[in-house]
Amino acid sequence: MKTKDWLILPLGVLLAAATSALTGMWTATPHAAERDATTPSATNTDTEGLRALEAELDALRREQDTLREALAHASTGSTGTREQVGGVDDAVARWMRRNAPALAEGTDGATDSAATDPEEVRAIDAAVDRILADDGNTDIEFWMELRKSGRLDGVIASLERIATASPHDPDVQVELAGAYVQKVFDVGPGPLQAEFADRADRAYDRAIELDDGNWRARFGKAISLSNQPSFLGKSGEAMRNFEILVEQQEGRPAESRFAQTYFYLGNLYRENGAPDKALAMWKRGLAIFPDDGQLSTQVANLAKEQR
């Protein structure tokens, strides 16, 4: 194998798999003369699906050409090559995670059986790509728009298939859990809310089972538990997960997001009748994050109340 040829392999394998799926689709699609004239909608769906997959293949070929150019520049010591290669690698990883289920089944990659409009399918796929790429940084407005547009169910269906196809990827489980949490907000109080909250909890558990040190998984689980109605008695489990996070965080280099653990754990202590423990936890966080406004505000407010 030539030097750096291994960097080409992911796209090569991906193109081969996608081409195989495309070939299978053409083979499985009847010729126009053989189609039943009474089923035009199925024909249109097949055609749109083939076009969508062909577009994906064209995009991947362009990415492969970009990668080859990047590798050629690398041999001359050109700057920026590693960033270009890394970007392509990330794109391939996201494409594989989203499309692996469809390639395995030889389908056209439609995200949701209920979404037959190509525009909707593309919009849902784009949302899933963003979720997989953002590593927890998707904003509230993004999720609100998904709920408002009615695409949240399609996103959940896609993430569920990706999670099934990638059973050992904790990050996919975290993203699926986050989508379930958004569905909790979407359905409102009632049995469905409890069902999706339970699904989120199980997805977080699976992520933690795969990677006990996954910060987002344990933090998400703790937040989800702490927001459940008090009569369900989940606050104790929420506190235990936050406490585990505190221990794990303090064995790692500090990250600004870690301050939230001290904030929420202190809040839970206070809500459960332990203001002294709450104050100690907030101060513990301030010792590491002295500029954190939430922690300093909680310490100041509690001090006023205790006067």
Render pLDDT for 175-218 as a digit per residue (tens, 0 to 9). 999 999 999 989 988 889 989 999 999 999 999 999 999 999 99
CB-based burial, 113-149: b 16+ in 10 Å, e otherwise: eebeebebbebbbebbbebbeeeeebeeeebeebbee
For residue 79, how far is the Cα from the chain centroid?
31
Distance CA 63, CA 7 (A): 12
pLDDT of residue 303: 85
In order, the DSSP letters of the chain are: --TTGGGTHHHHHHHHHHHHHHHHHHHHSPPGGGS-TT-HHHHHHHHHHHHHHHHHHHHHHHHHHHHHHHHHHHTTT-TTHHHHHHHHHHHHHHHHHHHHHHHHHT----S-TT--SHHHHHHHHHHHHHHHHHTT---HHHHHHHHHHT-HHHHHHHHHHHHHH-TT-HHHHHHHHHHHHHHHHHH-SSHHHHHHHHHHHHHHHHHHHH-TT-HHHHHHHHHHHHTS-GGG--HHHHHHHHHHHHHHHTTS---GGGHHHHHHHHHHHHHTT-HHHHHHHHHHHHHH-TT-HHHHHHHHHHHHHT-
Q: In which band, very low, low, confident or very high, does the pLDDT at 19 lie, cut at 50, 70 and 90?
A: very low
Retrieve residue 109's tokens: 């990659």
Render pLDDT for 236-276 as a digit per residue (tens, 0 to 9). 999 999 999 999 999 999 999 999 999 999 999 999 999 99
Retrieve residue 24's tokens: 């299978």
* Closest residue by Cα to residue 106 from 27, 51, 166, 24: 24
Average pLDDT over residues 215-231: 92
pLDDT of residue 230: 82
Distance CA 108, CA 24 (A): 10
pLDDT of residue 151: 94
Average pLDDT over residues 43-47: 56
Half-sphere exposure of 203 (CA within 13 A, CB side): 28
pTM: 0.63
Contact (CB, 8 A) for 83 and 70 = no
Q: Which of 92-106, 108-122, 216-230 bottoms out in mean pLDDT, i.e. has the lowest?
A: 92-106
**How many other CB atoms are found less than 10 A from the CB of residue 87?**
14
pLDDT of residue 12: 46
Using the predicted structure, report yes or no on whether residue 227 has a pLDDT greater than 80: yes
Q: Which of 46-55, 131-140, 283-292 bottoms out in mean pLDDT, i.e. has the lowest?
A: 46-55
Helix 140-149 and helix 170-187, axial crossing angle in degrees, nearest 10: 60
**How many other CB atoms are found less than 10 A from the CB of residue 5?**
10
| Percent of the chain whose predicted confidence (pLDDT) is above 70 | 61
Using the predicted structure, report yes or no on whether residue 22 has a pLDDT greater than 60: no
pLDDT of residue 57: 64
Average pLDDT over residues 112-122: 72
